[in-house]
Amino acid sequence: MSTNPDLGIVIVSWNVRDLLARCLDSVYASLARSNLRGEIWVVDNASTDGSVEMVRHRFPQIHLIANADNKGFAAANNQALRAMGLDNAQCIMPNAQLPRYAMLLNPDTEVREDALGVLIRFMDETPTAGVCGARLTYPDGTFQHSAFGFPTLAQVFLDFFPLHWRLLESRLNGRYPHRLYERGEPFAIDHPLGAAMLVRRETIAQVGLLDEGYRIYVEEIDWCMRIKRAGWAVYCVPRAEVIHHEAQSTRQVRPQMIVALWRSRFYLFEKHYRPSFRWMARRIVRAGMRAEARRAREAYRCGALNTEELAARLAAYQEVATL
């Protein structure tokens, strides 16, 4: 019987101390319920809310990396993956005591019941799968999209010009039907949301770690593109449920995150898409930024934004338009 850990969990955190504590409690409960051998790595990206002190006090058994500055999401995850031995050089060593799977988990999540066991059992039974993701729900139990198609021009357009809610919920916008989640059986996807995704050790050995050219956003899409290109399948596993509070870190700096999102998307487009796609995408985004600016000015006139908020958003939209 293998003595390797089943699972190495990486949680990159920034200024969400209370949510992080709840996340860690839920992870330990799920590990115990699933009878899994797991280790947890928390990488703190220079939080100022006492997150590091909380982890040291309440969870001394955790591997903690406390960064002096914010290294970004991809780089911080890679810090932990390298520390646990999951880089290209060490992953393939037959006698290394390495986890069989790595899981990227957001600090604003709570793992429900046997979700970790469900994910690992699925991967053990599906040797062609390189990645799988959990089913995400909002805290009130309502549906949250957990899996997506790779970006298309239609998705870029619908980001700014929604037209009709049915289009937003359709495959045209990269969404999978609700019935697939409700059916409960694993289904093939392009990529899960990076809030809760499990990756096979051998897959990481083949394709490498996350691309640190993405500071935040889109890194899981790039990873899954590389993973699928290498011949692995990607799935959503609806019976593994994870509560996702969604964007609790990034909403603290929303205008900056607008720029960060589109900087990462453009990097993805440069890396994986044809010139004609990139040409059209930039024109859609510029038109979209003009539309967002009009909406922001209307919100300001209605009192929904103050002067400072309006200025920050307009500056962000202008910066995106010139990327």
Establish if 1 belongs to a structural domain. Answer: no
- Count Cβ atoms below 10 Å from residue 122 Cβ, excluding itself: 17
Q: Is the dihedral of CA 71, 26, 130, 86 positive or negative?
A: positive
**222 and 292 both lie in a single domain:** no
**45 and 182 both lie in a single domain:** yes
- Domain count of the fold of the chain: 2
* Cα separation, 204 vs 209, whole angstroms: 6
Question: Amino acid letter at 42?
Answer: V
| Domain end marker among 229, 250, 271 | 250
β-bridge partners, 233: 129
**150 and 276 both lie in a single domain:** no
Establish if 200 belongs to a structural domain. Answer: yes
* Residue 254: predicted pLDDT: 81
**295 and 241 both lie in a single domain:** no
CATH of residue 105's domain is 3.90.550.10
**280 and 244 both lie in a single domain:** no
**124 and 27 both lie in a single domain:** yes
Establish if 221 belongs to a structural domain. Answer: yes
For residue 21, give Cα distances in angstroms to 27, 76, 187, 219, 294: 10, 19, 31, 25, 40
Strands 109-111 and 129-137: unpaired
**288 and 180 both lie in a single domain:** no
**309 and 191 both lie in a single domain:** no
| Domain end marker among 222, 250, 278 | 250
| Domain end marker among 197, 217, 250 | 250
Establish if 2 belongs to a structural domain. Answer: no
Establish if 78 belongs to a structural domain. Answer: yes
**246 and 257 both lie in a single domain:** no
Residues 11, 24 contacting (CB under 8 angstroms) = yes
* Residue 88: predicted pLDDT: 60
Establish if 121 belongs to a structural domain. Answer: yes
Please, which residues have CB within 8 angstroms of residue 109's CB and are 6 or more apart in sequence?
Answer: 23, 26, 136, 195, 196, 242, 243, 244, 245
* Residue 250: predicted pLDDT: 45
* Residue 1: predicted pLDDT: 46
* Cα separation, 265 vs 50, whole angstroms: 32
Establish if 211 belongs to a structural domain. Answer: yes
* Residue 251: predicted pLDDT: 52
pLDDT in tens, the chain (323 residues): 456 789 999 999 999 999 999 999 999 999 999 999 999 999 999 999 999 999 999 999 999 999 999 999 999 999 999 999 887 645 445 545 789 999 999 999 999 999 999 999 999 999 999 999 999 999 999 999 999 999 999 999 999 999 888 999 999 999 999 999 999 999 999 999 999 999 999 999 999 999 999 988 999 999 999 999 999 999 999 999 999 997 554 454 588 889 999 999 999 999 999 999 999 999 999 999 999 999 999 999 999 999 999 999 999 999 999 99
**142 and 211 both lie in a single domain:** yes
**129 and 230 both lie in a single domain:** yes
By residue range, what is the domain housing residue 309? 252-321
* Cα separation, 121 vs 252, whole angstroms: 37
Encoding tokens for residue 96? 């290394």
Residues 219, 211 contacting (CB under 8 angstroms) = yes
**139 and 276 both lie in a single domain:** no
* Residue 246: predicted pLDDT: 73
The dihedrals phi and psi of 238, each to the nearest 5 degrees, come to -65, -25
Tell me whether residue 4 is exposed, middle or buried, using C-beta atoms within 10 angstroms of its C-beta: 0 to 12, 13 to 18, 19 or more.
Answer: middle
* Cα separation, 245 vs 102, whole angstroms: 22
